[in-house]
Each structure stands twice: as C-alpha cells, then as structure tokens.
Structure 1
C-alpha cells in the first residue's frame, strides 16, 4: 500500500470494485486493438536472437520501451497446454533444456497475435497481441491498485458507511460476495466488523475467520479463546491498559490479519451500576496515516525509523525465544517505490537499539519519541467499545491496536491469518481470474 494512495469511499459493492481494475485493463486493451487492425499491426520478423516488431504509426510507437523481445524469453513464456499445466498453472517443462540459441523457423502474425514455430523441436507457440504489446511498453506487471482511505479519531475524511462492516447473515446468502466485501473493506480501510455474530460459543467466530483463510498456528496456539488469567506470559492475558502496537513483531512474517470478538464481559464484584462501563475500550490507530504525518512533519525521523533495523523478540514463555530472521525497522519501505509497506511497532517486544553506522541510538530515540507522540494524538486514536456480537478483523501490517484497562473478566476469542492467504482471498473474491493470473505471473 502507498502513502500516496487516492481516497475511496467505503461500502461499495463488489461489482463496482471490480470495475476499477477492469477499466484500467480495458484502456490498455483498447490501445492494442488499434494495432490489431490490418492497417496498424506491426510487422514481425526474426533478427539475431530477438523477435523484431516494426511499427509504422507514430501514435502506436510513442510510448514503446523496446521494439524487440528475446527469443529465449519468448520461448520460456509460452503458455500453450503442453508448456503450462492447465490444472495447476505451473510451468510444465525444463527452462534450461531450451537451447540458448533458440530461434524461430517460422513466424506468422494475424489479428489475434503472433504464432511462432521454433527451430529444433518444431514447438509451436502463440502470443496474443495484448501480451506482446504490454512487454514492448512495460518492464513488469504492477500489483493491484488499492485506493486506501486513512482513518483517524472520527473515521475517514468521508464518514459515509463508517465503520466498515458486513452482517453475519450475509455469508449464508452469498459467501463469495460477502467475503469479497469484507476483505476489500480491510484492504482499503484497514479493518472491518462482522456484526450480529452468535455469542453462545466461540465456534461461529472460528468458522467465520476460516472463510477468509486457515487460522495461523503460533506459540500461543491457533484460534484463541481466553480470559485475563496470564495462562500465557503476555500482557494481552491481563486487564492492564495496552498502548497502540502491532502484534507478532518478532516473526519474520508478522500476522497479516488479527481478529477479536468479545463474547462476554462481567464483574460480579463491581459495585457500579449495571449500565456503567467496566472499561476495556478498544483502540485502533491507522499506522499508514500516522507514518504519512511523520513523513510530512519530520522527514528525518521517518528516515531513521525506516533505516535503523532493530531486534525483536518473544521470550516470555519458558522454552520460547522467537526472533525474526534478521533485524527489521519500525517502518518498512518498499525499496522499488519508496512507499510504506509495513509497520512493525511494539516497544515492549523491542530489543536493544543498535549502534548503526548510519544513525546513532540518540537519533533513533528522538525519532521514536516523535512517532510515539503522533500515535498518541487524540486526532489519530480511534476509540470504541467492543460489544458481544461484533467481530473485529484488522490488517496487522497497517493498523495498530490497544485497549484501556478494565475490571472483571472479559472473554475474548479470535485468531491470526497469514498475510499471503488474506491477499489471495481478497484477489479471488474481487477480481476476474484471468486478470489475477496476468498480474501475479506476468
């Protein structure tokens, strides 16, 4: 996700969401339909290790990056039924058995694309115009464009449809469409509620989460159902206040989604009126929004938090000392785009600040103090009271969570879901299959 992503209202239907990426692809296809006409299609010829494309129309060639494609690359990317297993979508041949000097023995272009018969084994490949045109104009496929909407204390800039939610009963009416809406809310807004979930047991909550993907097993177990009894050595199993943080900072691959469902909250010893709050308000902070503020107000602090790599750990339980494969910064930035990729922040699970060649510990503490100050701003903190029947699911790579202290006994259930599995489910309930394959395969 990007810190520069456009704004989009939440609560749109799947059909409208699908229309956004389809419009982008259709505009690309319409460019090439012009080339596919008898007058505008390029001439195709073989030339010293390459397939050469000669365009005559300057409109068509205006944004070309290349005019040829390598023979070996083309042969390796043949998509015929003998080269790609039609059930698994996996390559069905050994790339390195292809001769390095592979060349066409015959090339034939028509309105649909280019047919090539290769020398040696006389294998025949077909390349549609849209595939050829894309790689003549571009280096690689871009991921799906996500128009995220940052939120603060009062929700997003547009409060329509806030907070994002779907109903429990919608899953039985149309599971695929409802999972599509749910995952798209999380992708765009960072979180969503499922309302009207049964509370007689934790089983309906578990089954709901499994509609997204399998529940991740950790040293805490899988699906959790707990009260504040310190059964495991973690502050989550207490009733003390918790500041805004992300979970599983100590994993190489932190949990992608996290879910909480308050099944009950009672205090038989309380002398408060029955309608009075027992505490335990929940807190969400949009980490991408907070990081965008940090980048604007203190670019140096953003740089320090994105460059200094820290040790993280989980060592509270006997026999358990978990740490990631290498140190990671608080703000993980995509090196190719400069955009924020993931927030990793739990000061309680942070190790010793290292003496970096690039930035001193003093610089890190100064930057982290500024970051902490932004996270605690009233305008940033989104507070609400969890209620039985409302299942909260949020993006643990983007959204920080916390709570206020409480009295009595709260029974909470929920679980973690891997990021890759969440994104896969989101893709397959919001985009056509052929578009997904083009984007992830190339």
Structure 2
C-alpha cells in the first residue's frame, strides 16, 4: 500500500461520543417541558428534576466533552493519539453509570446514585489517565494547554462533592449544593469554554496575527470563581458581602475581556466568509456570557427573579448550543479524514463545510434556539395563567428536542457521504 492512499483505517471515536451524547440529551430536553414552571421558582430537588439535570449534564454534555477531548488534545497540542480501546470500554461504562444515577434519582435512592457516581468517577479517572499521557507529552504546550488543567481539575471536585451528597444526604447543606453548582457550572463548564475558545475559535475561523491576553483573562476568571466559592462558606456578614462583591466584579471584568478577545480573533480572520455553524456558535457564546452575567448580577443585587432564567440561558442557550454548533464542524472534518484524506477520490469529495445538510441542520438549530428563548420567556413571565405557562414550557421542550433530533440526523447523514470506505488494496 502506498503512502498516497494511506489514511486512518477507523472513524475517530469522537464521532461515536458526539452522537451518543446527542441521543442521551433527548429525554432531559423533553423533561424540561414539565420542569420549567418548577425551575422558575428555584425548585430543582424533585426526583424528575435531578434525573433530567444529571442526564443532560453527565449523560449528554460530559459525553460530548469526552469525545471532543479525545480528538482535540492530540490535534491542538501536537500530542500522541489516545488509544482506540478507550471507546470500547469507557463509553459503555460511562453511559451505564449515568443510567444508574438517573434510576437512583427517579426512585429517590441516593445510595444507588452514589454507586452510579462512583462508577462514573472510576471510568473518568481511567479515561483521563490515558488522556493525560497524551496531554503531558504534547509538543505544543501553549497557554491554552496550561490553562486547560484548571477546569479539568475542577471536574474531580464536582464529582466528589456530588458523591458526598449522594452518600451523606442528611449532611447536605445549602452551601454544599451551591458549591456543587459553582464548581460544575462556572469552574468546569464555564472554565472549559473560556479556555478552549482561545483554541477552537481561531482554528475554525482561520485566524492569525491577533493579540489577546489569555493568561491574564484565565487567571482573572478562576480567581473570581475561587472568591465566589469562598464567599459561599463565609459566615453571613460584611466579610461575605465583600468577598462576593470582589469575586463578582472580577468575573464580570474577565467576561468583558473574553468578549473583547473573541472579537479580536474574529476580526483577524483570513477569510471574509463565515460559515453558518460559526454564527450558531457566536450566538451560543453570546447567550453563555449573558447567562453567566445575569446569574452574577442577580446574586450581587439580590434579584432572584433573574437568577433562574439566567442559569437556564447559560446552560441551554450557551453550553449545549455551543456543543451543537461545534459538532457541525467536527464531524465533517473527522469523516473527511477517515473517508477521503490522501485517497484519489478526495478530488471529487464535497468540501468539509458543505457536508452537513445546511437546510436540515439550520432548521434544527433554529428550532433549538427558539425553544431556548421560549423557555427563558416562560421563566421570566410571572402572574399569567398557569395553563399558558405550562403550554409554553411544553412547546419550548418540543422545539429543543426536535432541533437536537434534526441535528443528529444531519450529522448521521455526513457518515454516508462517499459510501463505505474502499479497502486500501483495491485502490
């Protein structure tokens, strides 16, 4: 076999993680139609609510994140590839552990939740041991490479605090719950997006020559999150308010600087044309920053009516939507690499940006964003008829789920382009 026709023999494991993550999110998105009125009042402790939240966060979002890390770490940091066998044992165990947790939440058996969480922790540790071997042997140890260690470290704290709540429910206080939420929402997910944006946005918009201050902004962001965590454990009084105020201001400043840097990166792009998935990503980033800002302002100025819609916008309109947007770039690239790269038929292959059916995918994304906005409006409006509110919540959930399903089939279609990969000896 010549080097001209050699290419990867197997489709990247990332694709399987992404598609499984999409599917796992559907029950959680549907459940939001029932839960929105409860979330509006800050009620998130019901069995269905806990099951839906953890199915979305651990079953959908974390599965997708595992898949992205599997591919991005070797590519972005010029690191050794992660072994293929990770897909065969980690993905089934991870999905199984989430299912066990969901069953535990639905039946209010927190020991079962703890067992599922312990299994998830063990599989994640094994996964990251293999990823870290690639991560630490990277040749391109940029600021992004160094900054990534902070949110990934926060993941372990999130899981450990969650296990404490599962095994010792009688000792769970409001401070413990808020710590779990701050570590998960701001330190891990928010921090992961914050750091990775400085690698993914330039990569996708093909930007060079921009000037940003990643090290300063990342430091500012995580110091702010640390102060918010400290304020959560401070005794009520002037000291707590001062720490909370300083942490909130620093976080808001870091978000402003983050937006400024993203604009600088986009303005320095080499191509004037921006493909549709990136517009989707920019809108998701806008919602993410708006949601995080709203959550901070509502806490700082004691506006509870704004807090829960802001958290909803941050999670559904920001984090999940951003993943959906980037999938439209990642899956076609991985399919082209597997099916066409260095093969004679690559000359007739469609462009990577043209592989995802634009109409189907964009209708799906529009459906999803419409559902998110309807959800935010439903949570913001108070005093209306309960029947109307429940109807809007159901329509919101339907739109988000339908959008995710359309995106799934659009990405699934990508995997049929060019038909089965020919055997190398037949070329």
TM value normalised by structure 1: 0.24
Q: TM-score scaled by structure 2? A: 0.24
Q: Which has the higher contact order (CA 8 A, sep 6+)?
A: 1
Q: Which has the higher helix share?
A: 2
Q: Which is richer in strand?
A: 1
